[in-house]
Structure formats: C-alpha cells, structure tokens
Amino acid sequence: MTGADLPLWAAILIVTLAILGAGLSLLGAVGLTTFRTFYERVHAPTLGATLGMVLVLIASTVFFTIIDGRFMPREILIGLFLTVTTPVTLTLLARAAIFRDRTEGKKKVPATKEKSAQS
Amino acid sequence: MRAVFPHPILSLGLFAASLLMSASVAPPSLALAALAAVLAPQVMRVLSVDRVRIRSPKAVLQLAAVVAVDVIRSNWEVAWVILGRRRHERKAGFIHIPLQMRDRHGLAVLAIIITSTPGTLWVEYEAATGQLLLHVLDLVDEDEWIELIKTRYERRLMEIFE
Amino acid sequence: MSALVLAWGLGLAQLMLVAAMGLTAWRIARGPRAQDRILGMDALYLNAMLLIVVFGIRTGSPLYFEAALIIGMLGFAATVALAKFLMRGEVIE
C-alpha cells in the first residue's frame, strides 16, 4: 500500500499536521533570527522542539499506522528522547552564556550568590 | 520480585522501547526486550541509583494533562510574540523563585516542564538555598509567574514525589 | 487525489523546514557570540531531523526513522559537548 491508496481524509489530516508542525518550527527559526538578545533567542527553538516536533511525529505515526495496517508508534522514541534532552541542552547553553557574561562583568545578568567552589 | 525488578518502571519502559526499536512483536524481539528489561536494572543497582517512588498515580495524570495544555497555550503565546504583537510593551527578564521541593527526581521533572513550555527557561538552581533562576520571555508580573509555577507545578510534583 | 494532496502538502512542509534551516544557518554565520552559534546549530539539527521525518512520510519508507533518531542523538551530544566547552574550556574533566 502506498500513499496513493490512502483515504483522502487521512491524507488531509497528515498534511495538516505536518504543515502545522513545520510552520511552528519555521516560526521558531524566525524568532531565532529576529530576537535581539541571546536570552530571548534561547526561547525560540523550543517552539519546534515541543509542539512542532510532536505534530510532525504524530503525522508520521498516523501515516505509517494506516499504510502498514498496524499500530507501532516508533516515533514515540524520538519524541521522548527530544523531550528529555532539550531541557538539558538549553539549560546548559543558558548557563554557559550566563557564566561568560558574569566573567565579563555584564550588568544585565543577575550576579551569582557566592557559590561554593564546585568540581 | 524486588530482586529481579528493582526498578519496575525502568524495566517496563525499556521493554516497550526495545519492542518499538525493532518494530515487531515476533519472539526474537520479545526475547531481546525481556533481556533488556531484566539486565539494565541490574546495572542500575551497581550504580546504586535511588529508587523513584511515585506516591500518587492520579496526580501524575493530572500533572500530565495540565502540562499538555500549558505547552500548547505557551506555544501559541510565544508564536504571537515572535510575530511581533505587543513588541513595545514586552520585556524579558530573569526571576528568582524560592522552591520548597528538595526531591531530585521532582526537580528534574520540573526542569523538563519549565523548559518544555516555550517562554520560560530554567537557568540555574542552587541546592543550598533552593533558589531557582528562571528566564522569562514575556515578563509582565513577576509575582504572577512565581505563583503560577509554585501552585501549578511544584505543589503537584511534591504530591507525587515527596 | 490523496497522492496529490500528500505530495503538495508534504512538499510545502519540507520547504518550510528548509527555510527554517536557512534561517538557523544565518544565525550560525552571524553570531554574534559563540553561544548564539551553538544555539543555531542545535536548532539546525532539530529542523534537519524533522525534515527527514517528513521525507520518510513522503517516500513511505520506514528506514528514515533510524536516520532521524540518530540525527537527534548526534545533535544532543554535539550541543552538550560544545556548551560544556564554553563553560569550562574542556569537554571531559
């Protein structure tokens, strides 16, 4: 069974989900280019990394469920992995940025509260 | 039972993930999945990882529903911010939030929730004071954000983990 | 009919993702600081992964799933290593 044998409602559903997801991801990329400071820009890719990613993966799940005639949502693995890792990368990146700004003595970031020497 | 499956949730998750990876429920895939489910928790025992204790499964479902709604809502809001509505009155900034929760698993889940809702970002947490540093994209009212995170997420997470 | 809908709709989604990749690439080239470039690279990986998932739907082949999973994992490892390098000046300590 190929894409041509798909019922029309399924094709429209899949296409709608994929376009919405891709649109959110594109919007995130637009935010990445238009926001002025780094701390604002960090927020932009989370659009694609949360709802955008989920919508595209649901589109893929719907497509392969109908094509293969069985329910095997492998996309859940990608979704779970991204959900768990995105906070790690973004937090680490934000901390790296705030660390660099503090060592350069920028005024905009909150100062550290005498942390105990770590590592 | 405890000796074979010291981490039942981990075992179940690995079993399901292994089946999904091989995309079949044929006997070889089932055997591989069962092997992963039995062996991986033994590795965890060597590493002496704390066992996760979930006190109230009902609160887990409630929290999941709240977070799903919040993710969709904040995606919508951040999309509007990017499209340039209210460009002049919007101001981004850092806020400090005093947390009462000390459970490590609860804090990890809170970090995932806060970062997964676009518009808020977990920056730093100090274990000694329980102070959490957040960056918020659309900071209208600082107290409102503190209230939101404490009542919406922290209270439910403490119900689940502590 | 549904083949037509799929081809055009998924083509549009792919175009949007390619445009997103272009914008993130611009951010990588533009900077201005190292953390901006790393953030752009993280977003680039994410969009590439979504593009491959959409490609998988378009061709109807389940093989692309593995490729998408691996790109997602590589993106995570690369971004974490680079962010760690920014913070400490070394990756493994």
pTM of the model: 0.87
* Residue of chain C whose alpha carbon sits nearest to that of A28: C20
Q: Which structure tokens are listed for C29?
A: 């080239």
- Asked whether the predicted pLDDT for residue A119 surpasses 60, the reply is no
A100 touches chain B (CB under 8 A): no
Residues of chain A with Cβ-Cβ distance to C49 below 8 Å are: 78
Q: Which residue has the higher pLDDT, B88 or B109?
A: B109
pLDDT for the residue C46? 92
Residues of chain B with Cβ-Cβ distance to A43 below 8 Å are: 78, 118-121, 135, 137
**Pairing label, strands B120-126, B131-136:** antiparallel
Could you please report the per-residue DSSP string of A41-77?
HTTTTHHIIIIIHHHHHHHHHHHHHHHHTS---THHH
Residues of chain A with Cβ-Cβ distance to C42 below 8 Å are: 45, 89-90, 93
The alpha-carbon radius of gyration of chain B (Å, integer) is 20
Mean pLDDT value of segment A23-33: 90
Is the CB of residue B115 less than 8 Å from the CB of residue B133? no
- Asked whether the predicted pLDDT for residue B1 surpasses 70, the reply is no
Q: Which structure tokens are listed for B160?
A: 């689940």
Q: How confident is the model at residue A37 (pLDDT cuts 50, 70, 90)?
A: confident
- Asked whether the predicted pLDDT for residue A9 surpasses 80, the reply is yes
Sign of CA dihedral B15, B19, B25, B29: negative
- Asked whether the predicted pLDDT for residue A4 surpasses 90, the reply is no
pLDDT for the residue C50? 93
Mean pLDDT value of segment B113-128: 85
Is the CB of residue C58 less than 8 Å from the CB of residue C4? no
How far CA A22 is from CA of A77, B69, B117, B159, in Å, comes to 19, 20, 18, 37
Is the CB of residue B91 less than 8 Å from the CB of residue B139? yes
Query: Is this complex's ipTM strictly greater than 0.90?
Result: no
pLDDT for the residue C13? 92
Please tell me the least confidently modeled range out of B61-65, C22-26, C86-90: C86-90
- What whole-number percentage of chain C has pLDDT above 70? 96
pLDDT for the residue A117? 38
Q: How confident is the model at residue A116 (pLDDT cuts 50, 70, 90)?
A: very low
Residues of chain A with Cβ-Cβ distance to B126 below 8 Å are: 113, 115
B20 touches chain A (CB under 8 A): yes
pLDDT for the residue C92? 63
A73 touches chain B (CB under 8 A): yes
> Exposed (0-12), middle (13-18) or buried (19+): which is A42, by Cβ within 10 Å?
buried
Q: Where exactly are the structural domains of chain B? A: 8-46, 57-161
How many Å separate Cα A54 from the centre of its chain?
A: 8
To the nearest whole angstrom, how far is the Cα of A96 from the nearest Cα of chain B?
Answer: 10
- Asked whether the predicted pLDDT for residue A7 surpasses 50, the reply is yes
- Asked whether the predicted pLDDT for residue B44 surpasses 50, the reply is yes
CA-to-CA distance for A60 and A75, rounded, in angstroms?
7
CA angle B93, B98, B99 (to 5 degrees): 120
CA-to-CA distance for A112 and B103, rounded, in angstroms?
23
* Residue of chain A whose alpha carbon sits nearest to that of C35: A97
* Helix (H) or strand (E) run with residue B81 in it: helix B57-82
- Residue from A50, A65, A95, A101 whose CB has the most chain B CBs within 10 Å, to mutate: A50
* Helix (H) or strand (E) run with residue B96 in it: strand B93-98
A83 touches chain C (CB under 8 A): no
Residues of chain A with Cβ-Cβ distance to C17 below 8 Å are: 22, 25-26
To the nearest whole angstrom, how far is the Cα of B26 from the nearest Cα of chain A?
Answer: 13
- Taking an 8 Å cut-off on Cβ atoms, the answer to whether A90 and B115 are in contact is yes
To the nearest whole angstrom, how far is the Cα of A101 from the nearest Cα of chain B?
Answer: 13
In this complex, the chains that touch A, judged by 3 or more CB pairs closer than 8 A, are B, C
Domains and CATH numbers, chain C: 2-88 (1.10.287)
How many Å separate Cα B114 from the centre of its chain?
A: 8
pLDDT tens-digit series, residues C41-75: 999 999 999 999 999 988 888 888 889 999 989 99
pLDDT for the residue C31? 76
- Chain pair A-B, CB pairs under 8 angstroms: 96
Instruction: Map residue A3 onto helix, strand or coil.
Output: helix
- Asked whether the predicted pLDDT for residue A112 surpasses 50, the reply is yes
CA-to-CA distance for B146 and B114, rounded, in angstroms?
12
Nearest to B120 by CA among B144, B138, B146, B98: B138
To the nearest whole angstrom, how far is the Cα of A112 from the nearest Cα of chain B?
Answer: 10
Please tell me the least confidently modeled range out of A28-32, A63-67, A99-103, A106-110: A106-110
Residues of chain C with Cβ-Cβ distance to A50 below 8 Å are: none
- Taking an 8 Å cut-off on Cβ atoms, the answer to whether C38 and A93 are in contact is yes
Q: Which structure tokens are listed for B134?
A: 């957040």
- Taking an 8 Å cut-off on Cβ atoms, the answer to whether A95 and C87 are in contact is yes
A34 touches chain B (CB under 8 A): yes
